[in-house]
Structure 1
């Protein structure tokens, strides 16, 4: 891309306010945090429910960005950059992408549906890339923002596009259709995902079909419900298991242990096709790919040879603990230029070390000549401040000198044979390689070795839940996020890095050592310590933490140290007891506290807070209101008498939803971030964050009359197949969850826990489940979820989450 900015005025119907109309644009950005922003970046200042990118323009200008699409020019920026002023910056981004798409004439495959879009896209890329230079959506970039960013990545060397479009409500697809303008449409499975955004299934289908209104052909599973929405100018190319009138009729399936043989007819001829999958979803997705190959007139032998090589698609990028105190960013199944840019942004968002290494294979399907491609990669490496590049592959080896600190190997095997000579310690490592390089072997070498039970943390879900609660806030209300107790058991530092990336205002921890750990990990956000002990005050000051002060004794102790250290206006947070009766200044001690603070310059009251006891219980609504009224009264008194304007906050997660009119200056988000709500309707809108997984270690069959586990608390009344799982109460599984009370999920079926939960193991009934040793076991996640477990154990979800032992490895992914 190379566009003169003055040409964007007419493209965007914008007003011009700038200093250099001849400036050239070669990059589009919406992320102020990206290190890839540069002088030639055009930054679209998007405005969301609780975030406005206009606030970051001044910082971007200081970092060298000179071109912006805005709704208004921020103060004091008028003579510093080029501004294209529009009514709506998201609409302008989409408008720009639609214009850019119009510059290219090659075939575009557009995919939509409820399930399977990303998998079909990745498989089509694999199947067609030997013959085409393919541009495709990176990862799951299928949203109102993701689609335009995907399309803008097209360059002159591409000759086939594959873009997916996802919608969650009406009036979204027409915008995406204008951007993608597919010539070939593929409709994947229509299921129940995102049903809440549509009146019924009929409306959902009608909206999704808008993507294909100008397409030359539509590929779909034959259905009268779909066909009534196909445009008259669009050719229908259908397949079916049941209707012989479909263009392709699949009349037989033979499923073996690891593969499926499909028998199908097309144009009067019969064919056989073997694919390496047995599950229903993969079979349907593979047929969608078959249909595209048939439409492109591929011979049956070529179809068979390519489709038998299809592979499971790893759609997530994982953050893992590595050897020698390293952090591993595992994106080891793809290598293209666009996804590299995304992975580098993730590396920066999760980075906790000064040293950053990228292990990179040859890059495929960039659309650029190799010289230009690796020059662009080197530029990315420099802008992201990467310290070391390890290249693997014959092509990247040829361009070794393009990078400033680079070592290369021709093959993965050569890298592995030299592994002991390479020093990996105290650094963040991005591992990014095409599937053919088998970089999973490198991940295995670098990954910290722990037992086979893991707690998987979905970072996308955390981002989603954060934005869900931020959308409930009034403008300018700040947000503190609680990361105490190791991020409610989910992993403190990694989540804190993500929250810092999202620019939350404060982090909250319980004790000083938690805050010190975060600061040592590189966290720069202000951190409030809610339960500081007086013995930790010196460390709190040393590490720049901010203590909650909740008693006269604590106030005197902190002021004494502050005076000794000659502090000036050090931030403290005053806690008021308004009815929780746990910690805080009571009403009868407020006057004395005010008297002590009057005229004191060693400290500054940064905020005044209190804690609600019943924000989640409607039967105590009046009591909760009385707390709020008392808090308002006492905090107002402190502000008036001390002549200060601190941040005021009392609402926790439940309070955000139940008392929206009393948000004051800040709210404190806790367990809601981790996908748990006390309200059943709100729970449906949150995404599950943590999934605790293990495997089956051993399976045995016992006769009637035999027992399982300590104390013979389970006695088999019939022949029973028993699976042993390597997780127990030392890992955080309550013993009360055993003896038939609880269950795990194996192959999407419930497996009841038999007998007592042991320290390191538990046993389950798999008599009716077709499973094998090594199969995956879900301890909790979507089913069962922590709220269900808590209800059965007569406790709260907090206890379930925070009980998971530190010996259980945390794996973070996007």
Structure 2
């Protein structure tokens, strides 16, 4: 598992770079692209990529961390001041990274499977890994690394000990696939499907198909479904082709299917003029199609139909997401135990390192499947040392065998059963625990023991989507403008430190909370970002000062009381934020009060004005644009009058979420991003570029057959004149599901189908009409997600999305996931 080491000369040639070399014997093993995710610094090569952030601005930080080799594209960058380093100057750092990965790929002649399509790429890749692993040493893309950056990082993991590669590639517009094809160079190509995803990036469906097919130019074998390419007029790639289709002529023609025991799909097909069959342990349409693609691949690769059937029946679901949960004894548990390899371990360790809520970090790690190598376990030791892991709990004979490689606090168990038996005597408390195990070790049993048992209704928070939304708004801002993220009200119901850790990791500039106790909680969880308190009161001043929080000053009373508190404690130049009332008429100094404020501030040395701000009333509504313009102009005028008193820079901000979208001239120095982080922007009327962050899920407790004429629930409000089937689900108004959503006003999803509530909403549960749906007790029920949107619920409740999100009870379990 030792990666090829690349010397200076080869790097220079591979990247077509101009090199400034101070370490002539340097060797490179690891590619680094993110200053927050560094490892193997001695043999790492940092690429200063240009995107939403310019990687050149982080070189000093990376240098201080120990990296000594850099790829840059700015010819004016002052690299001379960095002593003992190698710098490679290229035209485009991303292209240089892709070129280097392409050179690396050329050193291996074993088969490589390339996968693309609109959906299902990651699932097909992971299932093929399961199906082909018994006789192959496979390198594959970690998680869904299929982008212009993810593909070269994936291919870089190819090694001489592998004998098969499986890589996925994704494109969202034209002229993207050629670069990925040059890196992957597949010998076998799989097209999963052609769907609606990324339609906006192509003029026609034909253009979209042609772009995806560029991945397969020159492949020996191309596997695809006729139904997706029947209308395509271009030339199909592949020296050899293998087709599959439902009830249509193909090499694998599926002509019959049947659901068995509500959990298996029995498939019958024709292959080589013979009837073949397969049993797949899934029944949903997407999983069945993905499994058929895998079936076709096995047959195309020469596996006997009986062997293919045997392997397909053992497929297991792909848990592609890393979950952060509340654990026992005040712990946080990161569950990423669906698979284990070095690449996915590195990703999980980065996420662990991102968590600040506990000072202690523990890794529970199983053997790497099939790898008995001291070099590999020494590499793992270096990885966990770089990420400041305090304790390692190893599970398995191999990691126990190489336990001497690890220098941190450590303990080892020969098997999961040994660990589970010893669990009562193992101490866990006030720490973040990462679970990372190969599937054979059944770490889900360990997760069940470590995870706090709470209410079965769950609010899932997609941290990838939140990160996407943050970056969407950052991209709208001119360079150098700051972002204050609003995390008041438990981050709009989504959590506190779990959200702020991600925001801090993504380098927002400020946080804002409503009350001091929210800020104190964030400080205790390790947040170091500056925090503005929007509704301070005199009783909280001591806590504000002790925790280095920064109060909003909205009136002369608050200003005088806070200055008095500062004087008692002997503080000077304490940061505060001056709130101006430009039309909201909630809190803030009105225009007529500014002269009194200026007179007071003139000789005051206790405070330092960090920012001046105001709040837009209706930035999302074109009807009130004239009023919004008046607010912006008044704010500009009043803030300038205050700034004239000082010879230092004062930050100004007035834009909220909709202000960022609709009022680019009102950015000033900083913006306040609130509900837009969670995928809701009331100013966006058409198809939103934002992603849904929260999904509320519950489950069916009981199913009943109701006779004709019977009623359901309190007050006999739910009427069923024709009878039918109802399900009682575990959510009620005490969980935040409003009583206004009863009697058919609200809808939920059961097995992908929308059903209505029936009867009144109870405190802890409610009933839904599932007549005609083949549901079972224990089935998952979706209360809201990207199909039943929060905005739709808010409309039915005659309220706003803010109230829906913040109204979700604290007894509802929050689960955070990162894919």
Q: TM-score, normalised by structure 1?
A: 0.97
- 456 and 45 in structure 1: CA distance in 2 versus 1, 3 angstrom threshold: same
Comparing 707-716 and 786-795, the one that deviates more: 707-716
What displacement does 1:808 show?
0.4
Candidates 274, 281, 303, aligned match of 1:269: 274
Task: Answer yes or no: is 1:3 the counterpart of 2:6.
Answer: yes
Specify the alignment match of 1:421 in structure 2.
Answer: 425
* Correspondence 1:156 to 2:160: yes
CA contact (8 A) 1:329 1:431 kept: yes
1:180 aligns with 2:184: yes
Provide, for residues 173-226 of structure 1, a one-character-per-residue CA deviation record: whole Å limited to 9, x for no partner: 111111111110000022112222222322211111111112111100124537
CA drift of 1:233 comes to 5.4
Q: 1:341 aligns with which of 330, 342, 346?
A: 346
Partner SS, residue 288 of structure 1? helix
> How far apart, in 1, do the equivalents of 2:80 and 2:633 lie?
42
Superimposed CA distance per residue, residues 712-754 of structure 1 (whole angstroms, 9 cap, x where no aligned partner): 1122211121111111111111111112211111111122111
Distance 2:428 2:687 in 1: 42
SS of 1:466 mapped into structure 2: helix
The answer on whether the counterparts of 2:219 and 2:237 sit within 8 Å (CA) in structure 1 is no
1:334 aligns to what SS in structure 2? coil
In the TM superposition, residue 681 of structure 1 has moved relative to its aligned partner by 4.0
Report the counterpart of residue 771 of structure 2 in structure 1: 767
8 Å CA contact 2:457–2:696 kept in 1: the answer is: yes
**SS in structure 2 opposite 1:386?**
coil
Corresponding residue for residue 68 of structure 1:
70
**1:350: how far off?**
2.6
Offset of residue 141 of structure 1? 0.5
Alignment deviations for residues 642-686 of structure 1 (CA, whole Å, 9 cap, x no partner): 333211110000000110122111101000000011134465211
Structure 2 residue matching 1:190: 3-state secondary structure:
coil
2:34 is the alignment partner of 1:31: yes
User: In the alignment, which residue of structure 1 is the partner of 2:226?
Assistant: 222
Q: Distance between the aligned counterparts of 2:79 and 2:178, measured in 1?
A: 38
State the secondary structure of the residue aligned to 2:665: helix
Q: What aligned pairs does 1:778-797 form with structure 2 within 5 A after superposition?
A: 778-797=782-801
Moved more, 531-540 or 439-448: 531-540
**How many angstroms does 1:356 deviate by?**
0.9
Alignment of 1:207-356 (within 5 A): 207-223=211-227, 224-225=229-230, 228-231=233-236, 234-244=239-249, 246-257=250-261, 258-356=263-361
Gap regions ≥5 residues in structure 2 = none
Deviation of the 1:704 alpha carbon: 2.4
Summarize deviations over 1:347-378 as a string: whole Å, max 9, x none: 11134211111111111266xx5111111111
**Distance 1:359-1:470 versus aligned 2 partners, 3 A rule:** same
Q: Equivalents in 2 of 1:484, 1:287: separation in Å?
A: 47
Partner of 2:463: 459
Partner of 1:403: 406
1:531-550 equivalences under 5 Å are 531-550=535-554
Query: Mean alpha-carbon deviation: is it higher for 727-736 or for 290-299?
Result: 290-299
Partner of 1:710 in structure 2? 714
CA contact (8 A) 1:29 1:37 kept: no
Aligned pair partner of 2:523 in 515, 519, 527 = 519
* One of 15, 22, 25 as aligned partner of 1:22: 25
Q: 2:383 aligns with which of 380, 389, 395?
A: 380
How much has 1:798 moved relative to structure 2? 0.2
Alignment of 1:603-682 (within 5 A): 603-681=607-685
Contact (CA 8 Å) 1:456, 1:690: kept in 2 or not? yes
Given that 2:699 and 2:730 are in contact with CA atoms closer than 8 Å, whether structure 1 keeps it comes out as: yes
> Residues 327 and 683 (structure 1 numbering): CA distance in 2 closer, same or farther, change over 3 Å?
farther
How far the C-alpha of 1:249 sits from its partner, in A, is 2.0
Q: What CA distance in whole angstroms lies between the structure 1 residues aligned with 2:541 and 2:237? A: 74
2:684 and 2:772 mapped to 1: Cα distance?
Answer: 32
Call closer, same or farther: CA 1:37–1:530 in 2, change over 3 Å. Answer: farther
Give the direction of change, closer, same or farther, for the CA distance of 1:229–1:329 in structure 2 (3 Å limit): farther
Separation of aligned partners in 2, 1:227 and 1:801: 45
SS of corresponding position for 1:471: helix
Structure 1 contact 325–426 (Cα < 8 Å) conserved: yes
Distance 1:577 1:285 in 2: 57
| Distance of 2:439 and 2:238 partners within structure 1 | 39
Tell me the residue number matched to 2:698: 694
| RMSD, aligned CA | 1.6
Which is worse superposed, 57-66 or 250-259? 250-259
Q: How many residue pairs were aligned?
A: 810
CA contact (8 A) 2:704 2:727 kept: yes
Bigger mean CA offset, 1-10 vs 714-723: 1-10
Judge conservation of contact 2:612–2:650 (CA < 8 Å) in 1.
yes
Deviation at 1:228, TM superposition (A): 3.9
Match of 2:135, SS? Answer: coil
Partners of 1:233 and 1:705 in 2: CA distance: 63
Q: Is the 8 Å Cα contact of residues 68 and 86 (structure 2) preserved in structure 1?
A: yes
Deviations 1:434-492 (A, max 9, x none): 11111111100000101210000000000010011111001111111101000000112
* Distance of 2:602 and 2:683 partners within structure 1: 43
Q: Give the direction of change, closer, same or farther, for the CA distance of 1:571–1:455 in structure 2 (3 Å limit).
A: same
The 3 A distance-change label for structure 1 pair 157 and 685 is same
How big is the shift at 1:512? 0.6
Match of 1:736 in 2: 740
In 2, Cα distance between equivalents of 1:479 and 1:365:
47
SS at match of 1:627: helix
Structure 2 Cα separation of the partners of residues 365 and 91 of structure 1? 35
Question: Is it true that 1:719 corresponds to 2:718 in the alignment?
Answer: no
Deviation at 1:395, TM superposition (A): 1.6
State the secondary structure of the residue aligned to 1:282: helix
Q: Distance in 1 between matches of 2:584 and 2:285?
A: 53
Q: Which of 501, 508, 511 is 2:505 aligned to?
A: 501
Q: Which secondary structure state, in structure 2, belongs to the residue aligned with residue 767 of structure 1?
A: coil
Preserved CA contact (<8 Å) 1:57 1:74: no
Change (3 A) 1:544 1:135: same
Give the Cα–Cα distance (whole angstroms) in 2 for the partners of residues 607 and 83 of structure 1: 40
Q: How far, CA to CA, are the matches of 1:464 and 1:426 in structure 2? A: 30
Q: Which residue is equivalent to 2:60?
A: 58
Contact 2:40 2:382 in 1 (8 A): no
Q: Is the 8 A contact 2:97 2:152 kept in 1?
A: yes
Q: Please say if residues 40 and 383 of structure 2, whose CA atoms lie closer than 8 Å, have aligned partners that are also in contact.
A: no
Report how far residue 47 of structure 1 moved.
1.5
Alpha-carbon displacement from aligned partner over 1:573-626 (angstroms, at most 9, x marks no partner): 111111111111111221222222224332211111111101011111000000
Identify the range of structure 1 (719-728 vs 235-244) with the bigger mean alpha-carbon deviation.
235-244
Q: Which stretch of the first structure deviates more once superposed, 559-568 or 694-703?
A: 559-568
1:813 deviation in Å?
A: 0.3
SS in 1 for 2:134: coil
